Amino acid sequence: MSKVLVITTSLRAKSNSDILAEELIRGAKDAGHEVEKISLKGKEIRYCIGCLACQKTQKCVQKDDAAEIAGKVKNADTLVFVTPIYYYEMSGQMKTLLDRLNPLYSSDYHFRNVYMLSTAAEDEKYVPEKAVNGLCGWVDCFEKAELSGSLFCGGINDPNEAQSKRAELEKAYEFGKQLL
């Protein structure tokens, strides 16, 4: 089975995306995967400064938590990014992390399958499209990887509300069971 890395990007306490991520993780473990979760809560991740030194050294010149996360991303078989949808896009902290994963571009990364789990107060089908497209832009830069799936759970707003959303919890669990 795969070594799965789940990166949760919500900074909110009792985050709905974190609640759904736990169900995804339970499903992935039940399917036999080895799973590690990283939360961006409490992490220091600075903005990319665009120096491109990492393209030669495979290391960022900035010293913060992004380097450790990048190492885990590099060595995972499967990546799952979990984000709330803000203004029809991924969270800013997720985008900042994706930018800071630039040292992996020229590396011998292991990941092949990338997934997204997203939540939002709105529940229309189009709500996650721009966030998914944003992640696709990142994935497209890694020719050995592909966006293998996305799950959107809408209609969830208040902190901890996802705990009472049985259908969405089940969808997240099943999504986790189907990871490659």
Q: Please give the Cα distance from 82 to 165 (Å, whole number).
A: 17
Dihedral Cα 160, 121, 134, 152, nearest 10 deg: 70
DSSP bridge pairs for 37 = 6
pLDDT per position as a tens digit, 149-175: 999 999 999 999 999 999 999 999 999
pLDDT per position as a tens digit, 68-104: 999 999 999 999 999 999 999 999 999 999 999 999 9
pLDDT band of 146, cuts 50, 70, 90: very high
Q: Which two tokens stand for residue 43?
A: 């992490």
Nearest alpha carbon to residue 21 among 33, 2, 5: 5
pLDDT per position as a tens digit, 8-66: 999 999 999 999 999 999 999 999 999 999 999 999 999 999 999 999 999 999 999 99
Mean pLDDT of the chain: 97
Whether 136 has a pLDDT exceeding 90, the answer reads: yes
Neighbours of 156 (CB within 10 A): 22
Tell me, what's the pLDDT at 1? 85
DSSP 34-70: EEEEEE-TT---PPP----THHHHSS-SS-STHHHHH
**Domains of the chain with CATH codes:** 3-177 (3.40.50.360)
Backbone angles phi, psi at 151, to 5 degrees: -125, 125
Q: How many residues does the chain have?
A: 180
List Cα–Cα distances, 62 to 47, 54, 97, 141, in angstroms: 9, 10, 13, 22
- Amino acid, single-letter form, for residue 113: N
